[in-house]
Amino acid sequence: MGANFLKVAHHGSKTSTIEPFLSSSHPAFAAISAGRDNSFGHPSLEVVERLEAAGVRVYRTDRDGAITATTDGQTLTVNTFLQASH
C-alpha cells in the first residue's frame, strides 16, 4: 500500500525524501513547503529531481503558493493558490 499525497519533510532538504522511502510509498503528488529564495536553498534540487523521476507531481509553496489537497475518500484533488488566481 502506498500514499497518494506526500508532505515532504524539512522543506525538501537533501535528506528529506530518501529513495527507499519513496520507492515504498509511491506517492502520486507531493507538497514541499519552502519560502521563496530562502537562505537554505530549500527545496534541494536533488529531492525535486528524485520525486519527478519517480513520476510524482511536485507542488511547491515557493512557486505555487498555498497548496490544498481535498478528498472524498475516493478521489484526491490538489489545487494551488496561484493556479486559482489565473
Is 31 exposed, middle or buried, given 0-12, 13-18 or 19+ CB atoms closer than 10 A?
buried
Phi, psi of 59 (to 5 degrees): -115, 140
Report pLDDT for 53: 93
pLDDT in tens, the chain (86 residues): 678 999 999 998 988 888 888 889 999 999 999 999 899 889 999 999 999 999 999 999 999 999 999 999 899 999 999 875 54
Buried b (16+ CB within 10 A) or exposed e, 69-85: eeeeeeeeebebeeeee
Report H helices in 1-80: 19-25, 45-53, 61-64
pLDDT of residue 33: 94
| pLDDT for residue 86 | 45
